[in-house]
A and B are shown apart, each in its own frame.
Chain A
Amino acid sequence: DTAVSQTPKYLVTQMGNDKSIKCEQNLGHDTMYWYKQDSKKFLKIMFSYNNKELIINETVPNRFSPKSPDKAHLNLHINSLELGDSAVYFCASSLNFYSYNEQFFGPGTRLTVL
């Protein structure tokens, strides 16, 4: 039973395209996150939703738009992809944002923009 799953695991696309990454958690958690890991392995938070409410929106180009249809799902849509968007994107979840709980990570989606 996968706790946090992401689809797809690999995504190769051309510059200018629009793509989505989907994330689902079956842990019953209230909070979900999107992180970006760049080529130097630096991990930085992008967005967080708590009970479907956007609570973290870091300095990210507005080409990136998260969407949480329900507590178990958090999707990331990226418009007009650029070369610099190539990275590994991780989804994570935690019991509740305000309780400093452990975050459980998905397997990551490696996005390559050509």
Chain B
Amino acid sequence: AQTVTQSQPEMSVQEAETVTLSCTYDTSESDYYLFWYKQPPSRQMILVIRQEAYKQQNATENRFSVNFQKAAKSFSLKISDSQLGDAAMYFCAPAGGTSYGKLTFGQGTILTVHP
């Protein structure tokens, strides 16, 4: 079974600044994927970025990047040049191994962006 911990219930950042959201997980699987989803006030769940555990290179998607530390089981999300539209709840979720496509979500981190 996979467990996920997001230790920051809330974070805030100034517009145009950089913020990092942390996520740690526990899994006995060797082949798995990690996802970050965001949920803005509209409550729509939107994929932000994904990382394959077998890849050493950290995933990036425009202003979003991850710091994946496999040995430490850490998967943090960095948001650069923060924008007002980044304000949302962010969820970390591993999947894969014998769980296949089953996502196990963390508790979420609420991100506030100040103008």
**Chain A interface (Cβ < 8 Å from any Cβ of B):** 31, 40-45, 48, 56, 88, 90, 92, 94, 96-105, 107-108
Contact = CB atoms under 8 A, between A and B. Distances in A.
Nearest to B35: A102
B105 A44 contact: yes
Given A42-B108, A99-B101, A102-B35, 4 more contacts: A45-B104, A100-B96, A103-B101, A108-B45
Contacts of B103: 45, 103
Interface of B: 32-33, 35, 39, 42-47, 50, 89, 91, 95-96, 100-105, 107-108
Contacts of A107: 42-44
Contact of B101 (A43, A44, A88, A100): A100
B37 to A, nearest CB: 8
A56 B89 contact: no
Contacts, number: 52
Contacts of A108: 43-45
Contact of A100 (B39, B44, B95, B108): B95
B76 to A, nearest CB: 20
Nearest to A40: B107
A90 B100 contact: no
Nearest to B107: A42
A42 B102 CA distance: 15
